[in-house]
Amino acid sequence: MLSQMLYISTAVGPITTAVTGTILRSAQLHNPANGITGVLCQGQGVYLQVLEGERSQVEALYARILTDKRHQDVALRQHENIRARRYGRWAMAHIDMANQAFPAGVEAAGARQGVFDAYTVAVEQVLAKMDELIASGKVMNAPVV
Ligand SMILES: Cc1cc2nc3c(=O)[nH]c(=O)nc-3n(C[C@H](O)[C@H](O)[C@H](O)COP(=O)(O)O)c2cc1C
**Which CATH number goes with the domain that contains 114?**
3.30.70.100
Residue 67 structural domain: 2-140
Angle at Cα 88 formed by Cα 18 and Cα 62, nearest 5°? 55
The reply to whether 145 falls in a domain is: no
Alpha-carbon span 116 to 92, nearest angstrom: 23
Cα 70 to ligand 1 centre (Å)? 10
The reply to whether 132 falls in a domain is: yes
- State the DSSP code for 80: E
Number of domain units in the chain: 1
CB distance 92 to 30 below 8 Å: no
The reply to whether 63 falls in a domain is: yes
Mean pLDDT of 27-47: 93
The reply to whether 51 falls in a domain is: yes
Cα 65 to ligand 1 centre (Å)? 6
The pLDDT-based confidence of 121 (bands split at 50, 70, 90) is confident
Question: In this predicted structure, what is the pLDDT of residue 111?
Answer: 46
Question: In this predicted structure, what is the pLDDT of residue 114?
Answer: 42
The reply to whether 68 falls in a domain is: yes
Nearest of 95, 105, 106 to residue 40 by alpha carbon: 95
Question: In this predicted structure, what is the pLDDT of residue 108?
Answer: 47
Which residue ranges have their beta carbon within 6 Å of ligand 1?
9, 23, 26-27, 29-31, 40, 47, 49, 61, 64-65, 68, 70-71, 92
Nearest CA to ligand 1 atom 21: 26
Q: Which alpha helices (DSSP H) does the chain contain, by range?
A: 17-34, 55-66, 104-110, 123-135
CB distance 123 to 85 below 8 Å: no
The reply to whether 74 falls in a domain is: yes
Q: What is the average pLDDT score of the chain?
A: 85
Task: Give exposure, 102-112, as e/b (b: 16+ Cβ within 10 Å).
Answer: beeebbeebee
CB distance 94 to 20 below 8 Å: yes
The reply to whether 58 falls in a domain is: yes
- State the DSSP code for 90: B
The number of the ligand 1 atom at minimal distance from the alpha carbon of 67 is: 17
The reply to whether 126 falls in a domain is: yes
